[in-house]
Amino acid sequence: MSALTFTLKTQPAQRIDMSPLTPDTLAGKSAAGVAAIELHCGNRRLRTDALFDIAGDDAADIVIQNSCGKLDFIGSHMKSGRITVHGGAGSWLGFQMKKGEIILNGDADAYAAAELAGGMLLVNGNVGDFLASAQPGNRKGMKGGLVIVSGNAGDRVGDQMRRGIVLIEGNVGAYCASRMLAGTIGVMGSVGDYVGYGMRRGTLLLFSTPRLPATLQDCGSHTLPFLNLMFKSFQGLPSKFAGINKNRVRRYAGDLANDGKGEILVFA
């Protein structure tokens, strides 16, 4: 069996909802059945084979070739298998994903890993705003799983994030870990203003001291044993975080305007 490959024929003028094309929904479908699936494209519904050249038959291993930033909801609600995307991805990449693996070789737009509940999202590129956050109106963002971004991320990373781990090797924008409820975010590069704004609980791991709001307070330098455990669990991940083995940090706690049980740990 070879990977079920969708190669985008032309760059679409409208955005395409890719949520019907996941390993779970395609499992057991014939080639004709897959081709006949209708996808929302702007205000129209188009057959999958009108948009993509389709090859291969292993629905558990989906590959999207020639992808672009107009393909939204890739891997949405996915529960198993793997999706590999070559090219860009639109918004809502891995939205409410429960299990499985998405690998994006390119950049993603806003709301990547929004309300992600499990599995792994690996982005070899940059992502837009609201990574691992909640959809507008909802109270909880990412609820579990692992997100790795090799590039940069936009504003509001981990907004209302509830559980899970987000590792970003590049820089992030403003309001990182805003309204965070729990979980862990690691950022190797720089962070923008208003970091930890409204943070309730959770851990933000940084490699350089950011400009902190007054409601995040210095708790001093410490050697924290849980960091050994955490970095041990990162070993083997396809990320620079896999090679870290430090446990000496400066601890800033807050946001005191919102219960103040969150923490920003900065490596000494």
Partner 1 sequence: MIVNGVQIDDTFAEAFGMRGTRVIITAQNLKWANIAATAMTGFATSVIACGVEAGIERELDPSETPDGRPGISVLLFAMSSAVLMKQLETRMGQCILTCPTTAAFSGIDEGYPEITRIALSKNLRFFGDGFQISKQFNGKRYWRVPVMDGEFLCEETTGMIRSVGGGNFLILAESQPQALAACEAAIEAMKKIPNVIMPFPGGVVRSGSKVGSKYKALIASTNDAFCPTLKGITNTELSPEIESVMEIVIDGLSDPDIRKAMRAGIAAACELGAANGIKRISAGNYGGKLGQFHFKLREIMNGAAA
The smaller minimum CB distance to partner 1, of residues 126 and 247, is found at 247
**Cβ 233 to partner 1, closest distance in Å?**
4
Rounded to an integer, what distance in angstroms lies between the CA atom of residue 266 and that of residue 167? 15
- Please list, residue by residue across 49-69, b when 16 or more beta carbons sit within 10 angstroms of its beta carbon and e when fewer do: bebbebeebbbbbbbbeebbb
> Would you count residue 228 as binding partner 1 (CB under 8 A)?
yes
Token couple for 226: 């849980």
Closest alpha carbon to 58 in 82, 94, 75, 88: 82
Region of 14-22, 68-76, 94-102, 219-227 interacting with partner 1 (CB under 8 A)? 219-227
Segment interacting with partner 1 (CB under 8 A) among 29-37, 74-82, 91-99, 221-229: 221-229
Q: Are 77 and 97 in contact (CB under 8 A)?
A: yes
C-alpha span between 84 and 181 (Å, rounded)? 30
Distance CA 150, CA 129 (A): 15
Per CB under 8 A, 163 contacts partner 1: yes
Could you tell me which residues are beta bridge partners of residue 147? 121, 166
Part of the chain binding partner 1 (CB under 8 A), chosen from 10-18, 43-51, 132-140, 225-233: 225-233
Query: Does 223 interact with partner 1 (rule: CB under 8 A)?
Result: yes
Q: How far is the CB of 179 from partner 1 (least distance, A)?
A: 17
Distance separating alpha carbons of residues 71 and 16, to the nearest angstrom: 5
Question: In the complex, what is the shortest distance from the CB of residue 229 to partner 1, in angstroms, rounded to a whole number?
Answer: 5
DSSP single-letter state for residue 263? E
Interaction of residue 224 with partner 1, rule CB under 8 A: yes
Q: How far is the CB of 103 from partner 1 (least distance, A)?
A: 20
Per CB under 8 A, does 201 bind partner 1? yes
Question: Which of residues 9, 44, 45, 232 is near partner 1 by CB under 8 A?
Answer: 232
Interface positions with partner 1 (CB under 8 A) = 163, 182, 184, 201, 203, 222-226, 228-230, 232-233, 261, 263
